[in-house]
A and B are shown apart, each in its own frame.
Chain A
Amino acid sequence: MTSLLAHPTTALFLGAVLVAILKGQARSVAALVAPLLALWLVWQVPEGIVWQTHFLGVEITPFAVDRLSRLFATIFSIMVFSGALFSLNQTSRLELPAAFVYAGSAIGVTFARDLVTVFLFWELMAIGSTLVIWSAGTRRSYAASMRYLMVHLTGGVLLLIGVTAFIAETGQATFGAMTPHSVGTWFILAAFLVNAGAPPLSAWLPDAYPEASWSGTVFLSAFTTKTAVYALLRGFPGAEILVFVGLFMVFYGILYALLENDMRRILSYSIVNQVGFMVTGIGIGTEMALNGAAAHAFAHIMYKALLLMSAGSVFYVTGKRKCTDLGGIFRTMPLTAICGIVGALAISAFPLTSGFISKSMIAQAAADRHMTVAWLLLAAASAGVFLHAGIKFPWFVFFQKDSGLRPPEPPLNMRIAMILLSVVCVGLGVFYEPLYHILPYATDYRPYTADHVVTQLQLLLFAGLAFFVMLGWLRRTLTISLDFDWFYRRLGPALVRIAEAVIEAGRAAVRTAVFDTMRAVGAWLVARHRPDALLARTWSTSGMALGVMLILLAYLVGFYVL
């Protein structure tokens, strides 16, 4: 029991309490020390089982350490630290404590070696993240947090059914590698995929994340989906269905990100896209692929946080979030722009950035297993990533037309946080050995072969060329002051428009059908359960007595007939 004091989650939960009650300087110190303490603890605890106990009639292992859990706990701790640093001047008193509970629960999942504990932290994570969205304090964020909570409570229901069924089937609750072959494991897989942002429920992610505050989105981007990636890594390595799910997510993310106008929503769709790469890797299931998925999760948390910090800084100083309202602000926010570009290069897997050394492992694994189609799709998707996140985000936010905005750089702590993450993104791309060293499996993979670098540069150059061609053409059109929308409609004119129409029509049809049914069912239920409805009003005494008689009669007749 005392070993729980050494649990990194304990440090973060204590930090949440301190941050909630302290004020001023002391609060800032607590906010920065707690994650560092957690990070230190992650590396202090020896590998192996630390604490086991019995709960609900099964043996549970809430605290056990191995390479995989240490890898994810490390990146989660680093992420809380940089997120806390970034959000020190957030005025909401609720957001940071909620984020600490959220991150602490995510770390709790990584150290849990039984499904019961996973479920407990899973639910806590849902509550913490909902509070993070909620604490933005706008009407939209409130509505979004409620929709978000609905999806995650549903996910929790799936997980609980799965876990209990698993225990009923096997008599134990160990969380190790499973194959989806029984009802219990299917439910567990479904619950993990809900959190990963997989279809058909992917929409919760881009719906909710952009509604959080400028700092809240940074936290949100890191934990929920990546905890799901961790859970899939541990629970379902090599489950073939994940290849298809992952590839679907990759393209879903790209398409919608290309159509989107809200800068943080673009980046949210891009999370689905990036998690798709990881899920595909897990589905491929070789040691190389799993290493790649884990490394990509590590790298992705860093550069996606960096991108969202950059977007969050813009939002913080301008209060604007739509690409059409922004542009030309690199003049007064050079640092934010540079950091955003570093993040954009990293997500595009540009050589010498963290994305390059991680994503290529997944593609290599697909090639090694001769999964030609998957490999081709992944390669095509890499170009797509460059288009939507690598170029689109920095170009429309920082350059493009001159929007007339002259915002200042964000406060010092936010700049430091961005510089820190930029250094990590480039540092990991150059000195990748330490990361490879802590991956779940030993690897001697070399990312910087001439062949690989040239291939990737070619890919990016062609994607960039496509953009540059249109860019020149865009410059011309700008002179006749055409609106941004026009550009959109000309970007891959036929393809995008058709895709948009088809997807929107399909989505609208499904949405109308689902919403109409839900509304009808809801109205029907409300009509029957309102205080004056039959089921809720006080019945007269004779009415009650009559009811009792009828039921007795039903029983007697029933027994007579049977």
Chain B
Amino acid sequence: MILDHLPALQVVLPLISAPVIVLVRRSRFAWLMAVAVSWVAAAIAVMLAIRVADAGVISYALGNWQPPWGIEYRVDPLSAFVLVLVAGTAAIVAPFSRISVVAELPREQEYLLYAMFCLCLAGLLGITITGDVFNLFVFLEISSLSTYVMVALGQKRQALAAAYRYLIMGTIAATFYVIGIGMLYLMTGTLNMADLSVRLADVTDVRPILAAFAFITVGIGLKLALFPLHQWLPNAYTFAPSAVTAFLGATATKVSIYVLLRFYFTVFGTTLLFRAMPTDQVLMLLSLLGAVTASLVAVFQKDIKRMFAYSSVGQVGYITLGISLANTSGLTAAVVHLLNHAVTKGAIFILIAGITLRTGGASGFDRLKGIGSRMPFTSFGIVIGGLSLIGVPGTAGFVSKWYLVLGAIQRGEWIVAAVVLASSLIAAAYVWKFVETAYLTKPDESSVKAGEAPLPMLAFAWFMVVLCVFLGLDTSLSVGGARAAADFLLGGLR
């Protein structure tokens, strides 16, 4: 009985835990609640994924109002994949977060951070699971608003400015999105995704649809940090509390990419005009520019958090590039890189959280000299994560890169394949920068003094690091799931 309501529980549990945390106001309780909720959410996500793999798409009518009138929750291979990704990351970040939160935040703000964490989780899971475009907007706002608060809780003064910028940009994005779906509603009279895709195929007056498409693309492009709409991201990631960066870095942009996939392939996919427009070429160009530019910018950064934040923009470029290729290999690359990059960046940002714990919040490269001998496990973990960002064989990043290049070649885009591989060499340059600072520079008086990060933190980070290597060697689960999702998406296109 209760198993039938898993899709609703997936979202509702984190959602109601937030007000409970605010009511109790005890930081320890808040933390325990966040851990419990994220673990349960992860368990539910895994169960849903198994059920989808066994029995196909799950459609759940919320409040028993049948779609397309009521809100439909839909779990298909793609959303199941993303649900596991988001809830899984939360389940890893939540337990260790206490260590870094206690160190970074004043005690009276701690419970707030956990409340926002639960809300953000609810929002991200909701975006992923819902089959209703307006409901998606609501969850988008929930996750965005809670994210602004979490970024603003960062203890540096710039955190407020970063949160403010993110808020303005995020609001513009949400507005664009809602204008877009407004137009779609105008033309079709429905908000259900599946229904939209059926009805859009019959719409003859295409101009409003095109406008809707433009608004939604730009709005979602902002949220997923598509170059050149990424300007909010580096500061938000740099100045947010470290645990928040680890969580957002692994999930926030990924969920927005999921929304883009949904709209491109499920909602607009059936319309002929979508295929007549050069949308894929535009996306491809922006993705390549983003991958190259952001990676180059990362090379010259003086702060490790900021460097990896820019690297995230570049990696998002690879994912959207896979989407723009629009063939099985390209989409497999995009979906599998959602996971691979989340695992890689999750590991890196958790390890950086450990570093900032020891430096008292600083993350500039001048403080990291000789860190290789002071924090050997942390440094080595970052190096392995870095290898995965480069796409060195044997790491998760290589698998993504492989399918991306394969997809580009299958489409005959030789230049794209070459640029992807060349830009991965730029990644080598910024990872090398860390290696040089950590291992080849002598520690001086400004370097980190204390030893390794606390064991629990290190353990969770290394779990991710090992996963990062495992996903590079055994691809049956990751690529299997991604391929199923890719086939599913392309099935909607045919």
Instruction: Give residues in A with beta carbon < 8 Å to B.
Output: 55-57, 119-120, 123-124, 153, 157, 160-161, 164-165, 167-168, 183, 525-526, 528-531, 535-536, 538-539, 541, 544-545, 547-548, 551-552, 555-556, 558-560, 562
Contacts and interface: CB of A to CB of B under 8 A. Distances in A.
B277 A562 contact: yes
A539 B297 CA distance: 14
B481 to A, nearest CB: 14
A419 to B, nearest CB: 39
Contacts of A530: 300
Interface of B: 164-165, 168-169, 172, 176, 207, 210-211, 213-215, 217-218, 221-222, 228-229, 231-232, 234-235, 277-278, 282, 293, 296-297, 299-302, 310, 392-394, 399, 402-403, 405-406, 409-410, 414, 417-418, 421-422, 425, 428, 475, 479
A56 B475 contact: yes
Given A529-B296, A531-B302, A551-B228, A56 B214 contact: no
Contacts, number: 107
A533 to B, nearest CB: 8
B229 A160 contact: no
A539 to B, nearest CB: 5
A429 to B, nearest CB: 41
The 5 closest A-B pairs by CB, nearest first: A555-B214, A529-B296, A559-B210, A157-B421, A536-B297
A552 B405 contact: no
Given A123-B393, A552-B214, A552-B215, 5 more contacts: A161-B414, A168-B409, A526-B300, A538-B231, A555-B214
A536 B393 contact: no
Contact of A120 (B300, B393, B428): B393
Query: For A119, A535, A539, which residue has the most chain B Cβ atoms within 10 angstroms?
Result: A535
B402 A56 contact: yes
Contacts of B402: 56, 160, 164
A120 B394 contact: yes
Contacts of B302: 531
Contact of B425 (A157, A183, A531, A556): A157
A117 to B, nearest CB: 10
B214 A544 contact: no
Contacts of B222: 548
Contact of A153 (B168, B300, B425): B425
A161 B221 CA distance: 29
A525 B422 CA distance: 14
B392 A123 contact: yes
A182 to B, nearest CB: 11
A180 to B, nearest CB: 16
A168 B406 contact: yes
A292 to B, nearest CB: 34
Given A168-B409, A552-B214, A559-B277, A544 B297 contact: no
A55, A119, A548, A560, most chain B CB atoms within 10 A: A548
A559 B213 contact: yes
B259 to A, nearest CB: 17
Contacts of A161: 405, 409, 414, 417-418, 421
Contacts of B393: 119-120, 123-124
A194 to B, nearest CB: 14
Contact of B232 (A183, A525, A544, A560): A544
